[in-house]
Structure 1
C-alpha cells in the first residue's frame, strides 16, 4: 500500500546508541519529525547496555561512564515521543534500506529469524548510526567454551549482571581491554593479567593530538588506577597463543611477541584461568551503507569505514552517518557526530565549538587506531588445525591450501573453495582473518544484500 506524505518522517535514524540517540533528540529539538529504529528494547546501544528490569539492578549507572549525559538525552527522547515528534521503533532489526520514488523505506523485522513482526518506516532522509562489532583474530583453542569476546564479557556484565568466569584473563588489543578488565575486577572477578598485543607507546607519535585531548589521558589514567587497585597486571607486546582445557577453559599460554606480532620462541607462560575475554578492536558495521553504495575508506587499523564530509554526509545523496560507521572513535565522538548530523539535516549551523570538538576527537581516533593496529605476524599463532571460520569449521590449513595450491588470492575465491564465510555470520567474524591469510593487503568492505537474517515470506511480501 502506498505511503502517504503524512506518514513520511523528515528523518529515519537507524541505531539508538550514543550517535543515533544524540542525532534523534537533537533533530527533534530542531523541529524535525524522526523515526528511531533500533534492535534493543531501550536506547543506549552497546555502550549504555542496561540490565533487564526483572533483575532489579539498584545502580546500573555504576557500570557506565557519563551516565548523567546519557540519562538526560534519554529523558529528552521520552519528551519527544510523548509529543509525537519521535517514533521509537524498538526490538526491530533493519535488514534493508531502499530508495522509493519520493522517500527512503527502512525495512525491519522482529523476533527470532525476523518471523514475529515487521515494520516499514518512510523518511525523506536517513542517518546510519549502526555502530560496530568486535574483531576476532583466531588462535588455537579459541572455540573452547569459556572464550568470549572482550566486549561480549562487558555486555554480559552490563545486561545480565553475570560474568563468563571467576578467574578471567583479558587479552587482545585496544583500549577496550582496560575498561573490560576494570569492570570485571570491580564486579568481583579475579583478573590475573591484561594481555595487550601492541602497546601504548604508539600514542606518543601524536603528541599534539594527545595534548588536545586531555580527557582521554585522564580516562586512561583512571583505568590504570582501577587495575592497580585490584592488582591486575598489564603485559604489552604479548598475546594468548593457545587455550587449554577439555570441556572449557582451564588455562592459556601467554607468549611474548616481536614488533610484527610474531610469537617469540621459548617465551610461552601458562596462566591458569576459567575464562578468556579477547578482542582485537572493533569493526564498523557497514552492511546497510555498502548495500546503498556508500563509499568506504581504509582506517589506520585496517578496518573499512564510511567516507564522510564535514557535515557527516555519505557519498549517497540523502544518507548521513555518525559514530563508529565513520571509523571507531568511542561514545564521546559518536555523540558529537550525531549532533552535527542533526544540525546539517535541519539546515542549521552547528557552531564552531562542536565542529572543533569533532575534529579533535576524530584525530585522536586515528591515533588510537594506528597504535593498536594488528601487525602481519599474528597469523604465525595459527596451527594447520586451528579453525578460522567457526560456522563452517574451516581450518587455517585448508585456507592456506586454497591459497598455496589452488591459487586463491582474495576472500571471495577462498570462500568458493573452502566455504569460509558462508555460515550464519556471513564472514563478519572470520572475514578479517580470511582476508589476511588470502594475502589481501587492503580487503574491500563486505557487501551483503541483507543486513540480517530474514524469512523468505518477508522477501516475498516485499
Structure 2
C-alpha cells in the first residue's frame, strides 16, 4: 500500500463490534506522542488512549487546556520538543488520521490473530464519556505506559503533607501552585533537583534536599555522562538555581523520621556511612516544614505488558522491566514497547524509542518493508541507555533503609499494614514474596494495588532491604484487570 492511499484510508474502519486502526498507542507522554508522530508520518492511522485529560503525560503535565490556561513551559524541560510533537498530534486529530481518547483506561488487552483488541473504561469513574468505545482493534500495538514514583517507607510517611516527589512536581505543573509552603525533599537521583527547582520557582521554600548517595559513584562513570552533554547543561542550571535560592543540598543524608500531630511539622535527618548506618552526631531536626517529597527513582508500569505475556528482566536498579529488540519490538508478535517500561531513562530516551517504535509499527501494519533504523538514532539510544545505567548505579537504593524502620512503621498505606506484620509473615509463614504478603497481610490489596508499596514489600519479604526477586516484583503488577473499573464496565461488554 502506498503512503498516499494509506492516508486516504486512515480514518477508523469499523470491523464488527470494535473500531480498527493501523496502530494503537497506549499513553500520551513523551514516548506515546513520539510514537504517534512517527506512525502518522508513515501514513498509518492511529488511535491514542491515555488516562490523562490532555496530552503530555506526567513529564509534560501542564495547565488545564479545557480551562483555557496557557502554559509558557517555564516549569518544563524539552518544552519545544513537546510543542513540536503536539503540533503533529493535533494535525493528526484535525485530519481524522488520529483519534485521541483521553481520560480512558485500557483495563485489558488481548492479542488476536491478527492484531490486538483493547478494552476501555473511563479512567476516573462512571459517567465520564458516553462516546468512549468499549473496545478498539489495531493491527499493531505500542505500549508507552510510563512509570510511577518508587517509594520506600519511613516512620511518619503516612502523615498528611507527605507526597511522592513526582506528585509534588505534577501538582505544581498542573495547578500552578504548591501543596505547601516549606518542603524537605529526600531520596536519591537527579530527579530530586527539578522538583526542588519547581518549588522555588513557584514561590515555595526548600529547607533541604537529602540525597542518600555520595555522588562518588559518578567518578568511574563520568565518560557516560560526557556522551550526553545536555544532561550536564541541565545539571548546571539546577546548580545555579540551588545557589541563587540557597537550597541546602546534603549528600549521603537520609530522612529518618517525619514528625507531626495530624500533619507534617518537622523532619529528622542523619548522615549515613557506606553501610547505611547513621553517623553519630549527624542527626538534625528541621522544623517548620509542611511538605515532604520522597523519591527513590521510578518503577515501570507493566500491567498491560504482563497481561500480554511480554518477556521481562531485572534492571540494574532492581526494577522489573520489559525487554525489546533494537527496534522496540517485544517477544509478542506485533507488540512494541517504548519509554520507561523498557527501563527508566528519561524523556529524551523515551522520545527516541517512541519514534523508532511508531515507525516500525506503522510500516508493518501497512504491509511495507520495515526498512532500517538510522544508525545515528540507534547510537543516540545507546548513549542515553548507557547514561541511565550509570545513573542507576550512582544512585542506588541506600543500604540499611529497612533497619531504620520501626515495627509499627506503615509499609502499605492503603491497607495500613505495618512493617512488623510483614516481617512476621516472612519469618513465621515463609512469606518471602509479594503474593503471599498480599494474601496474608493485605499489603498491596488497596486502591493502588501495590504500585506504591510493591517494591518495598518485595524487599522486606526477601529479607530486610535485600534486592527483591524478579518473580516477586512480577506478582505486584500481574493482574487480569490492569486498572480499577466499575462492575458496569464489565456488564457493558459486547463479548
Both structures adopt the same fold (TM-score exceeding 0.5): yes
| More moved, 322-331 vs 412-421 | 412-421
Matched, 1:90 2:102: yes
- CA displacement 1:25-75 (0-9 Å, x = unmatched): 111011111111111222110111011147665543111112111111111
User: Alpha carbons of 1:460 and 1:207: their partners in 2 closer, same or farther (altered >3 Å)?
Assistant: same
Work out whether residues 51 and 60 of structure 1, in 8 Å CA contact, stay in contact via their aligned partners in 2: no
Work out whether residues 107 and 484 of structure 2, in 8 Å CA contact, stay in contact via their aligned partners in 1: yes
- CA displacement 1:212-242 (0-9 Å, x = unmatched): 1111111111111111110001111111111
Q: TM-score, normalised by structure 1?
A: 0.96
Tell me the equivalent position of 1:47: 59
Question: What SS does structure 1 have at the residue aligned with 2:121?
Answer: strand
Tell me the equivalent position of 2:453: 430
Question: What SS does structure 1 have at the residue aligned with 2:407?
Answer: coil
How far apart, CA to CA, are the structure 2 residues paired with 1:114 and 1:420? 27
Question: What SS does structure 1 have at the residue aligned with 2:268?
Answer: strand
Work out whether residues 263 and 380 of structure 1, in 8 Å CA contact, stay in contact via their aligned partners in 2: no
| More moved, 124-133 vs 216-225 | 216-225
User: Alpha carbons of 1:300 and 1:232: their partners in 2 closer, same or farther (altered >3 Å)?
Assistant: same
Work out whether residues 260 and 377 of structure 1, in 8 Å CA contact, stay in contact via their aligned partners in 2: yes
- CA displacement 1:326-358 (0-9 Å, x = unmatched): 001111110011011122222243311111111
Work out whether residues 313 and 341 of structure 1, in 8 Å CA contact, stay in contact via their aligned partners in 2: yes
Tell me the equivalent position of 1:305: 321
Tell me the equivalent position of 2:335: 319
Q: Give the C-alpha shift of residue 114 in structure 1.
A: 4.7
Work out whether residues 145 and 247 of structure 1, in 8 Å CA contact, stay in contact via their aligned partners in 2: yes
- CA displacement 1:345-378 (0-9 Å, x = unmatched): 2224331111111111011111111111213411
Work out whether residues 116 and 137 of structure 2, in 8 Å CA contact, stay in contact via their aligned partners in 1: yes
Work out whether residues 18 and 136 of structure 2, in 8 Å CA contact, stay in contact via their aligned partners in 1: no
Tell me the equivalent position of 1:454: 485
Aligned-pair RMSD on alpha carbons? 1.8
- CA displacement 1:380-411 (0-9 Å, x = unmatched): 12101101011111101111111222332222
Work out whether residues 63 and 71 of structure 2, in 8 Å CA contact, stay in contact via their aligned partners in 1: no
Correspondence for 1:415 among 426, 433, 438: 438
Q: TM-score, normalised by structure 2?
A: 0.89
What pairs up with 1:96-111 in 2 under 5 angstroms?
96-110=108-122
How far apart, CA to CA, are the structure 1 residues paired with 2:438 and 2:406? 20
Correspondence for 2:346 among 330, 349, 361: 330
How far apart, CA to CA, are the structure 1 residues paired with 2:123 and 2:435? 31
User: Alpha carbons of 1:459 and 1:101: their partners in 2 closer, same or farther (altered >3 Å)?
Assistant: farther
Tell me the equivalent position of 1:203: 218
User: Alpha carbons of 1:201 and 1:114: their partners in 2 closer, same or farther (altered >3 Å)?
Assistant: farther
Q: Give the C-alpha shift of residue 111 in structure 1.
A: 5.2
How far apart, CA to CA, are the structure 1 residues paired with 2:349 and 2:403? 35
Question: What SS does structure 2 have at the residue aligned with 1:19?
Answer: helix
Matched, 1:284 2:280: no
How far apart, CA to CA, are the structure 2 residues paired with 1:456 and 1:54? 29
Structure 1 alignment gaps of length 5 or more:
none
What pairs up with 1:233-272 in 2 under 5 angstroms?
233-272=248-287
Q: Give the C-alpha shift of residue 3 in structure 1.
A: 2.7
| More moved, 2-11 vs 386-395 | 2-11
How far apart, CA to CA, are the structure 2 residues paired with 1:50 and 1:102? 37
Tell me the equivalent position of 2:155: 140
Tell me the equivalent position of 1:3: 15
How far apart, CA to CA, are the structure 2 residues paired with 1:285 and 1:78? 26
Question: What SS does structure 2 have at the residue aligned with 1:194?
Answer: strand
Tell me the equivalent position of 2:8: none
Work out whether residues 188 and 211 of structure 2, in 8 Å CA contact, stay in contact via their aligned partners in 1: yes
- CA displacement 1:158-214 (0-9 Å, x = unmatched): 001121211111111111100100110121111121001113221222232122111
Work out whether residues 8 and 103 of structure 1, in 8 Å CA contact, stay in contact via their aligned partners in 2: no
How far apart, CA to CA, are the structure 1 residues paired with 2:266 and 2:24? 47
Work out whether residues 411 and 431 of structure 1, in 8 Å CA contact, stay in contact via their aligned partners in 2: yes
User: Alpha carbons of 1:312 and 1:371: their partners in 2 closer, same or farther (altered >3 Å)?
Assistant: same
Tell me the equivalent position of 2:402: 379
Q: Give the C-alpha shift of residue 459 in structure 1.
A: 2.1
How far apart, CA to CA, are the structure 2 residues paired with 1:320 and 1:111? 23
Work out whether residues 115 and 455 of structure 1, in 8 Å CA contact, stay in contact via their aligned partners in 2: no
Tell me the equivalent position of 1:390: 413
How far apart, CA to CA, are the structure 2 residues paired with 1:60 and 1:108? 33
Q: Give the C-alpha shift of residue 4 in structure 1.
A: 4.4
